[in-house]
Structure 1
Amino acid sequence: SHTPFFLSQRQALTPCMLRSFPSSLFTSGVQRRRLTSLKANFWDSIKSGLLKNNPIPVIDPVSELPEEKQEEEESEPKEIVLIEKEQPDGTIVKILFSSGGYVDVHDLQKLCDKVGWPRRPTTKVAAALRNSYMVASLHLLTHPPNSDGEEQRELIGMARATSDHVFNATIWDVLVDPRYQGQGLGKALVEQMVRALLRKEIANITLFADAQ
């Protein structure tokens, strides 16, 4: 079994976990601007001291991605149809992988119930998703025959990744609806997520899971 999406008390108290939830999420826009200004001034003061006493060049912190890099990320595929079948009654069924779409917190709570994972406060779940580098999902799309309406959409799988945005990423909380387990969807979810991370030039990727 995989590690639950909602961390155990032991894991939640570790410093590395606390660092994954930046304090800026809990500050207002004005406060965030003040913090940014303070950080910039603090860096400038340190930099000036280093330049006086250290012959080694000091590199400014990167604040934004280059325009070319941003364009590359925008052009990356966000959705991939993994499976598409037509039922005897004409219903079209698809399983869609997404690495950049929105995941509804309440749908995720329902999926955790099906898998047997304990619930946690919705606000904390939303914060965990928001602070993840990547949130990937599997949705079941059902389009009835002779229907011009929208496809029915159901969340059947999810995984997320944290990252330093440059070198390393860790995939957490891989879960698949029990009704669709045993079909290789969990493996496909992880593989597609790894490919998406590699396209972002993140080459050191690990998967966190229970030993059981």
Structure 2
Amino acid sequence: MAPAASASTVGVAPPSLRCGACVLTATVACRMHARGKFPARRLLHGQAQVRNRVATTWSLKAGLWDSLRSGFLKGNNSTETVEPPPTPFEEEEPLPEELVLLERTLADGSTEQIIFSSAGDVDVYDLQALCDKVGWPRRPLTKIAASLRNSYLVATLHSIIRSPQAEGEESKQLIGMARATSDHAFNATIWDVLVDPSYQGQGLGKALMEKVIRTLLQRDISNITLFADNKVVDFYKNLGFEADPQGIKGMFWYPRF
């Protein structure tokens, strides 16, 4: 048997005859050229197959996308309808509540009813007059109207007086209000709780707040917060509110002018 040729006896193809598929060193010849075989056609054929597979893949993807857009997924021998995503459930707005909290006869023989309502029936001028009575600073009427319009709940107390001498006639006066903002799901914050000073001390403020809280609970909102001045903290504590529960610290940002 002839001895194996050493690396020094193997001929090296000239650079002009080296094919691009081989990586040659100074002592290794392009065996493909030595055998008279050229891989160019095979390489081109392989590249064409790759291009065909890529084109087929994109065609399949495009076909799937078109089927999804048309609302169908096509299997082997079946067609399955793809239902559109469900639209968000639109919860019906709860009906406003109105009830008589108190009914009494006045000294002049006229009758007065104190009516609670969650219908948000508030005249901005009446509200401004009520704010004046409790000593709140005046706010622009346009902002008052916007705050009422953007509130989740606006509850009011009205005094309706009917005189026996003027049948069918009545006077209506706003004597209390509270409003709440909410995310309509979990949380609500109560704002602007006020009662006419001439009607304070009769339990109307407590009744107003209890009705507001009950209305929010009926709407499945149980995380209820509010902000209170120091002089009315005890009033809200008696209603079940806690100051700084579980060490939670509220933070405020105020403009610095």
Shorter chain as normaliser: what TM range?
0.5 to 0.7
Gaps of 5+ in 1: 1-58
User: 2:163 touches 2:169 (CA, 8 Å); kept in 1?
Assistant: no
Verify: 1:108 aligned to 2:127, yes or no. Answer: yes
Deviation at 1:196, TM superposition (A): 1.0
Q: How many residue pairs get matched?
A: 147
Show the counterpart of 1:121.
140
C-alpha distance in 2, partners of 1:147/1:104? Answer: 25
Verify: 1:64 aligned to 2:95, yes or no. Answer: no
Show the counterpart of 1:55.
none
* 1:124 to 1:87, Cα distance in 2 relative to 1, 3 A: same
**SS in structure 2 at match of 1:189:** helix
More deviation, 161-170/144-153: 144-153
- Calculate the TM-score normalised by the size of structure 2: 0.54
- Calculate the TM-score normalised by the size of structure 1: 0.64
Amino acid corresponding to residue 64 of structure 1 in structure 2: E
Q: Residue 207 of structure 2: which of 188, 200, 210 is its match?
A: 188
C-alpha distance in 1, partners of 2:196/2:222? Answer: 29
Q: Residue 185 of structure 2: which of 134, 157, 166 is its match?
A: 166
C-alpha distance in 2, partners of 1:89/1:109? Answer: 29
Q: C-alpha offsets along residues 90-142 of structure 1, whole Å, 9 cap, x if unaligned?
A: 31101111111310000000001110001111101100110110111111110
RCO comparison, higher one (Cα < 8 Å, 6+): 1
Deviation at 1:209, TM superposition (A): 1.2
C-alpha distance in 2, partners of 1:101/1:144? Answer: 26
Q: Considering only CA atoms, is the larger Rg found in Structure 1 or Structure 2?
A: 2
Gaps of 5+ in 2: 1-84, 232-257
C-alpha distance in 2, partners of 1:163/1:60? Answer: 25
> What percent of counterpart residues are identical?
63
> How do 1:141-180 and structure 2 match up within 5 A?
141-180=160-199
